[in-house]
């Protein structure tokens, strides 16, 4: 490409970076990861000690080492079912993102729509999902659909609410300025309202990501013959506590993985949000992102 911009290194990707910044960032990440890892090690050590000394049966409280062993031994069973659950989560979460953001845009686009929809949106969160999940199964069957719908129901709300707040965040004076530059409604949305909303939307996505795993387990409990949630039910019936713990570990890993994925996307999508402040949030990224 021989555009003026790229010749001069002004392409969108060529963001300025301090020279030592990658090394420094890695160092900071390592430093940030240390406290939670040490804490986890201590907690697991105490757990192991208690389970060993007290002689509690592994059907009640298995030792961490036994859980680790189960993770390795049952890996094919776990993986097989993990894929099912991951697929449900990705589809459900994806649906929640699409629906959540479309709802937010609709609500922000007109007062009448806002008044008509918003109260019902809040009311929808008062309906216990466990109560309507069986209905969804009755309506849609035992396949992927009810799981995707339940997961989407569980996690669209934080996405929508944050997106609504975000779409309010654009400075009204900036919108006026854009009007004087002859920006139409769509251009004002694309150039100002949407970028201003993105940090909020990502906050909603992070909460939604955490909820999605809960949604998946629940959806599988209501009606499923595979997946990690189903596996928990099955193992519970067999009092296979150690294997249940192994499933929980995998579920937690999926949740954390999804959360970190959202955070990674956030950093890629919002370089200005982090670099512009010259301050990177510390830690593994399990924090809320606010500092």
Partner 1 sequence: MADAGAGIANGSVPKLRAEGLCKTYPSAGGPGDVAALRDVEFEVGAGEFVSIVGPSGCGKSTLFSIIAGLIRPSAGNVLLDGSEPKQLLGEIGYMLQRDLLMPWRTVLDNTTVGLELNGVSRRKARRRALDEFERFGLTGFERHWPAKLSGGMRQRAALLRTFLAGRQVMLLDEPFGALDALTRQRMQEWLLDIWQEDSKTIVFVTHDVEEAVFLSDRVHVMSGRPGRIVLSLEVDLPRPRNPQVTMTEKFLGLKQRLMEPLEEAIGPPGKREA
Can you give the binding site for partner 1, defined by CB under 8 A? 3-5, 8-10, 14-16, 171, 173-174, 176-183, 187, 191-192, 195-196, 198, 270, 272-273, 275-278
CA 256 to chain CA mean position, Å: 8
In the bound complex, what is the minimum distance in angstroms from residue 267's beta carbon to partner 1?
A: 14
Cβ closest to partner 1, residue 25 vs residue 277: 277
Helix axes 75-109, 111-124, angle to 10 degrees: 150
133 and 150 Cβ atoms separated by less than 8 Å: yes
CA distance 231 to 240: 10
In the bound complex, what is the minimum distance in angstroms from residue 154's beta carbon to partner 1?
A: 30
Token output for 54: 């007290």
Cβ closest to partner 1, residue 117 vs residue 196: 196
In the bound complex, what is the minimum distance in angstroms from residue 178's beta carbon to partner 1?
A: 7
Give the residue among 258, 236, 263 at the shortest CA–CA distance from 85: 258
* 288 DSSP 8-state letter: -
Helix (H) or strand (E) holding 179: helix 172-180
In the bound complex, what is the minimum distance in angstroms from residue 61's beta carbon to partner 1?
A: 50
Q: How many CA atoms lie within 13 A of 76 on its CB side?
A: 0
136 and 152 Cβ atoms separated by less than 8 Å: no
Cβ closest to partner 1, residue 75 vs residue 190: 190
In the bound complex, what is the minimum distance in angstroms from residue 18's beta carbon to partner 1?
A: 12
Cβ closest to partner 1, residue 106 vs residue 196: 196
In the bound complex, what is the minimum distance in angstroms from residue 16's beta carbon to partner 1?
A: 5
Cβ closest to partner 1, residue 10 vs residue 98: 10
160 and 241 Cβ atoms separated by less than 8 Å: no
CA distance 108 to 118: 10
């Amino acid at each position: 490409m021989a555009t003026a911009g790229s010749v001069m290194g002004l392409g969108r990707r060529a963001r300025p970076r301090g020279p030592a910044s990658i090394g420094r960032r890695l160092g900071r990440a390592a430093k940030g990861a240390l406290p939670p890892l040490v804490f986890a090690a201590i907690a697991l050590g105490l757990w192991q000690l208690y389970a060993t000394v007290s002689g509690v049966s592994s059907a009640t409280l298995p030792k961490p080492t036994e859980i680790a062993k189960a993770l390795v031994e049952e890996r094919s069973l776990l993986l097989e079912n993990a894929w099912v659950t991951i697929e449900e989560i990705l589809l459900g979460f994806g649906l929640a993102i699409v629906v959540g953001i479309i709802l937010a845009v609709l609500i922000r686009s007109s007062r009448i729509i806002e008044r008509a929809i918003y109260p019902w949106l809040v009311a929808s969160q008062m309906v216990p999902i466990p109560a309507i999940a069986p209905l969804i199964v009755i309506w849609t069957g035992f396949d992927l659909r009810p799981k995707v719908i339940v997961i989407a129901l569980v996690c669209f709300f934080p996405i929508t609410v944050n997106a609504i707040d975000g779409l309010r965040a654009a400075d009204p004076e900036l919108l006026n300025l854009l009007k004087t530059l002859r920006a139409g409604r769509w251009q004002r949305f694309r150039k100002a309202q949407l970028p201003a909303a993105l940090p909020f939307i990502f906050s909603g996505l992070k909460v939604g990501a955490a909820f999605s795993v809960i949604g998946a387990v629940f959806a599988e409990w209501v009606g499923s013959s595979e997946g990690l949630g189903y596996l928990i039910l099955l193992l519970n019936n067999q009092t296979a506590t150690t294997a249940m713990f192994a499933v929980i570990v995998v579920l937690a890993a999926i949740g954390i993985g999804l959360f970190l994925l959202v955070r990674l996307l956030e950093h890629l999508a919002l370089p200005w949000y982090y670099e512009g402040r010259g301050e990177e949030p510390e830690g593994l990224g399990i924090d809320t992102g606010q500092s």
